[in-house]
């Protein structure tokens, strides 16, 4: 991906030097193992246990327990990542400022919070094992940069554009929030708890599609390099629910999916990337 290292976005809040704490929110976020347990309990008791996690958040983000050690704040590699996510953040948000008015809405910038190990977000306490997530209560995206090490080392999905896809997906949740999609989904989940997981999957796949819409813009502006799209598709495939369940040593159970299968995540990113059209991202009509 063509970009020039530079400064840090005004929309980045760097809390890597702060320790996380409890309080200030009601949400609870779990890693992959906890999410799989809740999925099994939901099936057994026919109750949406995932609703206990959201705390008003846009989604439950799936992650693996971190096995990498935190790097020092002045580590050159991590500083490059800070500058890269700043570039992607600004580029994606500037793109949505141009795109969203075509669909009757105005775009407002989200903040990106960088943290280590744990953070007290507007949606509750979260750990790095959660993976990146968006909180609609404070309209902020939260990322522990160590996740990118996990993405490359554990999931085999490295490269700049793979990292960019992850952030663009979370910004996609912000777009959904501005359009009111997430609140409608929560209403439907409360009304039809037996469909809670299916609706969560639809919400996540739409965020993948919206990430693809931004990707389409980067392609039109010749920012992409050869192989970038494949890296994004590899990242989308790597964190599909079916692959995560296999990695956890469990059988694949579509009824417990919250983000979608690898194939579906790839499909919807491609849909947004090829069309560049928000209206093509109506995952709820499929």
Give 48-103 pLDDT, tens digit per residue: 444 444 444 443 344 444 444 555 666 666 888 999 999 999 999 999 999 999 99
Give 198-241 pLDDT, tens digit per residue: 999 999 999 999 999 999 999 999 999 888 888 888 888 888 88
CA nearest to 25, candidates 122, 115, 117:
122
- What is the structure's pLDDT at 20? 52
Structure letter (DSSP) for residue 136 = T
Per the CB < 8 A criterion, the answer to whether 237 and 266 are in contact is yes
Q: 146-153 and 160-179 helices cross at what angle (nearest 10)? A: 120
Is residue 211 packed enough to be buried (19+ CB in 10 Å), middle (13-18) or exposed (0-12)? Answer: buried
Quote the CA–CA distance of 115 and 264 in Å, as a whole number: 30
Quote the CA–CA distance of 38 and 17 in Å, as a whole number: 32
Share of the chain above pLDDT 90, in %: 53
Please check the confidence at residue 188 and state whether its pLDDT lies above 90.
Answer: yes
Per the CB < 8 A criterion, the answer to whether 7 and 83 are in contact is yes
3-state secondary structure of 30: coil
- What is the structure's pLDDT at 191? 96
Higher pLDDT: 46 or 175? It is: 175
- What is the structure's pLDDT at 217? 96
Please check the confidence at residue 286 and state whether its pLDDT lies above 70.
Answer: no
b/e map of 14-43 (b: 16 or more CB within 10 Å)? eebeeebeeeebebbbbbbeebbebbeebe
- What is the structure's pLDDT at 23? 34
Share of the chain above pLDDT 70, in %: 79
Please check the confidence at residue 197 and state whether its pLDDT lies above 80.
Answer: yes
Q: What angle do CA 278, 281, 284 make, to 5 degrees?
A: 135
Tell me what the mean pLDDT of segment 170-183 comes to.
Answer: 97
- What is the structure's pLDDT at 51? 45
CA nearest to 136, candidates 126, 121, 147:
121
Quote the CA–CA distance of 109 and 138 in Å, as a whole number: 11
Torsion of Cα atoms, 12 then 13 then 18 then 21, to 10°? -120
Tell me what the mean pLDDT of segment 112-116 comes to.
Answer: 95
Per the CB < 8 A criterion, the answer to whether 147 and 64 are in contact is no
Give 6-52 pLDDT, tens digit per residue: 889 999 999 998 755 433 333 344 444 444 544 554 454 444 444 44
The two structure tokens encoding residue 165: 């896809």
- What is the structure's pLDDT at 65? 41
Cut 0.85: pTM above it: no
Dihedral sign computed on CA atoms, order 178, 182, 186, 191: positive
Between β-strands 133-135 and 111-114, what pairing exists: parallel, antiparallel or unpaired?
A: unpaired
- Least confident range from 67-76, 127-136, 181-190: namely 67-76
Quote the CA–CA distance of 206 and 211 in Å, as a whole number: 9
Looking at every residue in the chain, the average pLDDT score rounds to 82
Question: Which DSSP string corresponds to 45-80?
Answer: HTS-TTHHHHTT-S-PPP-----SPPPPTT-HHHHH
The two structure tokens encoding residue 188: 């439907």
């Amino acid at each position: 991906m063509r970009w020039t290292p530079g400064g840090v976005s005004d929309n980045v809040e760097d809390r890597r030097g702060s320790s996380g704490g409890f309080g200030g929110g009601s949400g609870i976020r779990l890693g992959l193992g906890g999410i799989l347990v809740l999925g099994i309990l939901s099936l057994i008791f026919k109750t949406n246990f995932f609703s206990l996690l959201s705390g008003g958040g846009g989604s439950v983000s799936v992650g693996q327990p971190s096995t990498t050690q935190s790097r020092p704040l002045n580590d050159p590699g991590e500083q490059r990542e800070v500058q890269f996510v700043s570039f992607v953040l600004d580029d994606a948000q500037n793109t949505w400022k141009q795109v969203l008015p075509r669909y009757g809405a105005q775009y407002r910038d989200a903040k990106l919070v960088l943290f280590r190990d744990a953070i007290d977000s507007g949606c509750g306490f979260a750990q790095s094992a959660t993976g990146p997530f968006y909180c609609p209560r404070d309209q902020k995206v939260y990322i522990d940069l160590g996740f990118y090490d996990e993405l490359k080392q554990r999931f085999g999905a490295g490269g700049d554009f793979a990292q960019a896809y992850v952030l663009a997906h979370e910004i996609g949740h912000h777009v959904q929030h501005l359009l009111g999609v997430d609140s409608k989904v929560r209403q439907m989940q409360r009304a039809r708890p037996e469909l809670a997981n299916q609706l969560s999957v639809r919400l996540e796949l739409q965020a993948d599609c919206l990430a693809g819409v931004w990707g389409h813009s980067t392609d039109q502006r010749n920012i992409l390099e050869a192989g970038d799209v494949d890296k994004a598709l590899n990242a989308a495939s790597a964190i599909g629910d079916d692959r995560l369940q296999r990695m956890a040593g469990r059988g694949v159970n579509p009824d417990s999916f919250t983000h979608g299968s690898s194939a579906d995540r790839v499909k919807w990113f491609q849909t947004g990337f090829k069309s560049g059209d928000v209206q093509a991202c109506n995952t709820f009509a499929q």
